[in-house]
Each structure stands twice: as C-alpha cells, then as structure tokens.
Amino acid sequence: MKEKERGVPSDLARKTLSGKKDAHEDMSSFSELPTVKPDAAFTLLAAYKTDTSSNKVDLCPGFYRDENGRPWILSSVIQAKERIHADPKVNHEHLPLAGHTELLRQSKELVFGKEDRDLKRVASIQTVSGTGANHLAALFLSTKLNPKTVWFPNLGWINHTAIWKLAGSHVQQRFYPYFNGENQIIDFDAMVEVLREAQKGDVIVLHACAHNPTGVDLSKEQWNTLATICKNTGLFPVFDLAYQGLASGDVRQDASAISDFFDRGNLEFVVAQSYSKNFGLYGERIGILHIAALDVTAAAKITPALTQLSRAEITSCPSYGARIISQILGDLKLYDQWLEDLATMHNRMKTMRESLYHGLLVRKVRGSWDHILTDTGMFSMTGLSTTQVTAMKEKHHIYLLPSGRISVTGLTTRNIDHVVTALEDILGTY
C-alpha cells in the first residue's frame, strides 16, 4: 500500500507538522545581489539637506541657483507656462513616438544652425533628458555599429561610463588623456597621441562645451584637429550637449564644434542634447537625441530604428516640458527673453568666479587659481584631495564632490567669504 493510502504524511506534510523547513526555503531570490554604492552627488545632496548649520554651502550639483541659493524659474518659462495653461485645446494625450514634432525641428536648428544646412540628414528623437539621450545613443550604437571600444575623457561625467556599462556591456571602456590637474589645462598632445591609436568604429564621448567636471574646453583649432583624427581613424563621436548657452553665454558659440563637424559633410556623429540646465526644467526631463548621417537616405532609416528602441522602453516622452520649450523657441519675443535669461545665469556665474578668484588671491590661499576665470559653465576643479574635501564638509559644512569639483552656482555674495576662509584653513597660505 502507498504511503498516501496508508495515511503516512508526505515530505511536505512532515515538514509542516514538525515546524522545520529547509534552510533555503525563506531565502530571497535577491539575496545574492551585490551591494551597490550610493550615488556620490545625491548622497551629498541628502546630507546637505539634513545639515542644520547656518553656514552650510552646497557646491555639489550642476543645478543653477540664484543669489539666494534657490532654484530659479526663468522668466521665459513663466510666460510660456501661462500661455499653455490659457490654451483650452491643450490636453494630456501622449506625444507621437518620436516626440514633440515642432520641438524636434526647433532643436535641430538650435544645435546645428539653420542657415544653408541640410538638416534632413539629421535623425532626431525626443528622450528623457540628456541622460536618456546618452542611454539611447549607447544602446543604438552598441547594437547597430557594434564598436569594440568606447573612449571617455580621463575626467568626465561619471554617469557616462555607467550608462555604457548597462546599454553596451560588451563594449570595452577606455580613457583618453584630457585634463592636466597640475596646470589646470587640457593635455591635448597626449590626447591626440592616444586617439590616433583608436580603431575604426570605436566611439568617443565628447563634451561639446562647459566640460563636466573641469570647465576646460577645447579651442576651435583643437576641435578642428580632433575632427580630422575622427575622420582619419574612423572614430564615431558622441557629443554631450548639456549646457548650451551657459558656457560662453552664446548659444551658437557653445554649439560651434557640432556645427563645424556637421559642415565638413564627411563625418557621422551623435548629439545628446539636454534642456534641463539652459531652461531650468530639471524635473521635466526633456532631451533630444540627434544622429547626423552622411545623407538623407541613411537618416530616414535611423529614425524608425531609434523609435523602435524608445517604444520598447518608454513609448512616449513627457509632453509638458516639451510644450514649454517649443513655445519659447517658436516665439520671437519669448526667445529673446530666454536669451536674456541665459545671460542672467551666465553673468551671475561669471561674477561668482571673479569674486572667488579675487578672494583667494587677497588671502594668498595656496594653489593655482587663474583657471577659475577662464573655465566655462558651472564647474571648476579645486585640486583638493578627498581628505581635504571631507575636511571642508566636517569642519566648515561646505559640500563638494570627492573629485574636488565645485559648482560655482552654489556661491553667493553671502557665503563666498566663508568658502574662501575655509579653503584658506584647509590649504594654507603662501
């Protein structure tokens, strides 16, 4: 007679009756997941918010702050929102798969210029801000071009490598020389020497302007040399354009490297465009991915391929921020106001750079500081070690990234003396 028929309990029943279970029964499927290190920038931001010191200063994030250290809503954005809210035809339907149609056209013109340029050979799609544009670019290039290597600057945005690790894990990551920390300049000769050894089909990630984290940009002559190297070696450039209008204060100047590459007519490349910083629309997550092809036929094939990838990930991008930006770019009055808003942000950052530089010089703080005046955009390197960065936080309640990068948007007329005094204490004087 079988055990079940004789009333003998099964193995499962025995365990239930005895109250005993196998050791692995209560183990989570995710127990073996490796511990992930918290994001350095956002961890510091959280620590700053809980700091109760009246002298605390946040020099970490790449967010624009006004003279009171608060987020600033651009005047052009306020006016555009009023128009949108007053329009009874505006609804909450999702955008087309490629994104806001008018914004796509306007974005091409903003990046590449519209005078005598065949923008039909540029394929564009809306993304979830600049991060999404970089991610979609990495996913597209790693699967369609199958590069062996992707090259990053030796100091760059930390999220670039993380994005490529996820989207193109089979692509080897290497770094090219960029920043000379001792002289606070670009080590261009070393950069050229390394990149000339790159293989055809390799991808190179470039910061179009306001280099993050150094604030040091290539000159026009250096960009021309780099374009020639890309053509001769077969390197495929990916431009990260996150700060257009905030580097020099001129939107055309800040995109000049991109338009120069495009005008050559013999280079294909990617542009990951973000509208977070130059419109102050951080939370709206509006970006555009552009791929410049050699001809219209190729561009026509790229757009559906990008749409297919985006459809599988998010289907459709946010509409509200896209409408705001399109409203501004499509109206001459609002566009002029936006240029004034850019000037306001650029000039305040320039003033803070000058105040910091002169404060350090007056107190004879040890270090090389001339670069603070020539760096562009929000960031500069201080040369502080990780130990010194920690001391700045613990002794003076001043927060900056472990790399020693500062964001000058965190400086105000009220806190700049405190920052200079802290640097004097940590670094000493001559």
Residue 425 is among the residues annotated as catalytic for this protein: no
Concatenated DSSP letters of 17-76: HHT---TTTT--TTTTPPPPPPPHHHHHHHHHHH---TT-EE--SS----TTSS----HH
What span, in angstroms and rounded, lies between the C-alpha atoms of 162 and 182? 27
Report the interhelical angle of 332-362 vs 416-427 (nearest 10°).
40
In angstroms, the Cα distances linking 14 to 6, 7, 26, 254, 298 are: 15, 12, 17, 74, 67
The one catalytic residue in 56, 108, 277, 393 is: 277
Determine the residue type at 228. T
Determine the residue type at 7. G
Determine the residue type at 401. L
What span, in angstroms and rounded, lies between the C-alpha atoms of 9 and 325? 70
The one catalytic residue in 157, 164, 223, 369 is: 157
Residue 210 DSSP symbol: S
Residue 338 is among the residues annotated as catalytic for this protein: no
Token code pair at residue 131: 């991060």
Determine the residue type at 138. A
Residue 277 is among the residues annotated as catalytic for this protein: yes
What span, in angstroms and rounded, lies between the C-alpha atoms of 194 and 178? 10
What span, in angstroms and rounded, lies between the C-alpha atoms of 73 and 78? 7
The one catalytic residue in 217, 240, 254, 375 is: 240
Closest among 215, 217, 248 to 356, alpha carbons compared: 215
Q: Work out the widest C-alpha separation in the chain, in whole angstroms.
A: 99
Known catalytic residues are 157, 240, 277
